[in-house]
Amino acid sequence: MNRTLASNGLTLMATFATLVMGSFSAHSADLKTIEPGKITIGSDQVYPPYDYLEDGVTKGFDAEVMALLAPKLGLEPKFQDIRFASLIPGLQANRFDVIASALYVTPARAKVVEYVPYAKTGGSLIVRADDTFAPRKPEDLCGKKVANLKGAAWVPELLKVSKASCGSNPMDVKEYATSAEADQALLARGADVVFDDAGVAKAAVVASKDRLKITSTEILFPVVIGIAVKKGNDELFKRIKKEFEEIKGTEEYKAILAKYNLALPSDAEFTAALVESN
């Protein structure tokens, strides 16, 4: 190869790389994040299939979503593992920039965070595989010990059902730090049933090697889940919202949703999720 041509080619390549890196830096420079060049993400990494650690690496639905979204922001994703009940307090204390942890959209949470809705799911009921108790709906749980993830959005809904339908035989709603602990309580007969996210429930049955089973036949309390940004962090929120609009219709994003048995919520479903129920 002619050395002059090779040298010119290398110079052009270097110039192109400089332009690309300059563009990348300019794209992210105006975004103020906790750690420059990175977007720090709060997630409860004991919540498969949404968030979990494998060989020290964050895996699951949220990791795949942020791996797709973060480069569009010109930022590198950096996950911080934190238990679910501490996610919103951690965001408010500026421990991380966003929450991406299958966080259900609720009116109460929307008072302190801005949401970018990115999927929808719902709940399922899990019992021991050898149990004759086979609840299909929340009204079937009266008088039962119901294990849940601490801070989960469906806990208030279960309490409403208990108050409206159970009379003098209310549900005994128990909360655990992780879904795995709720499942262990069920297996140890410290609970009669677990109410958990449909995707998590499916993964739990597989992980239990069929010692558990799902008895509900439809999604309970269908919900929208969103990426959460602290209220007042308008610049980051607007950029995430803009970039997500660009990727949500792509085949790549559709494949991620399909992989985890999730769907994209409509604008109407998101709006409805923000309305206080009576």
Name the superfamily (CATH) of residues 122-221.
Answer: Periplasmic binding protein-like II (3.40.190.10)
The pTM score is: 0.72
CA distance 204 to 47: 10
Q: Is the per-residue pLDDT at 24 higher than 50? A: no
DSSP H/E element including 185: helix 179-187
| Residue 197: closest CA among 215, 175, 221 | 221
pLDDT in tens, 101-126: 999 999 999 999 999 999 998 899 99
> Is it the case that residue 20 has pLDDT exceeding 90?
no
Distance CA 44, CA 51 (A): 6
The per-residue pLDDT for 239 is: 97
What topology does CATH give the domain 7-121+223-273?
Answer: D-Maltodextrin-Binding Protein; domain 2 (3.40.190)
pLDDT band for position 27 (50/70/90)? low
pLDDT for 131-190, tens place per residue? 999 999 999 999 999 999 998 889 999 999 999 999 999 999 999 999 999 999 999 999
Give residue 22's identity as a one-letter amino acid code. Answer: G
Of 17-21, 233-237, 250-254, 272-276, the least confident: 17-21
> In CATH terms, are 7-121+223-273 and 122-221 the same topology?
yes
- Within a 10 A sphere around the Cβ of 203, how many other Cβ atoms? 20
- The one-character DSSP state at 104 is B
Strand 193-197 with 145-149, pairing = parallel
Task: Provide the 3-class DSSP secondary structure of residue 234.
Answer: helix
Domain ranges of the chain: 7-121+223-273, 122-221
Inform me whether the pLDDT recorded for 25 exceeds 60: no
Res. 86: pLDDT tops 50? yes
Q: How far apart are CA 224 and CA 105, in angstroms?
A: 6
Both structure tokens of 131: 């149990």
Closest CA to 146 of 199, 215, 202: 215
How confident is the model over 191-238, as pLDDT tens digits? Answer: 999 999 988 998 899 899 999 999 998 889 988 999 999 999 999 999
How far separated are the first and last CA of the chain, in Å rounded?
77
d(CA 201, CA 193): 11
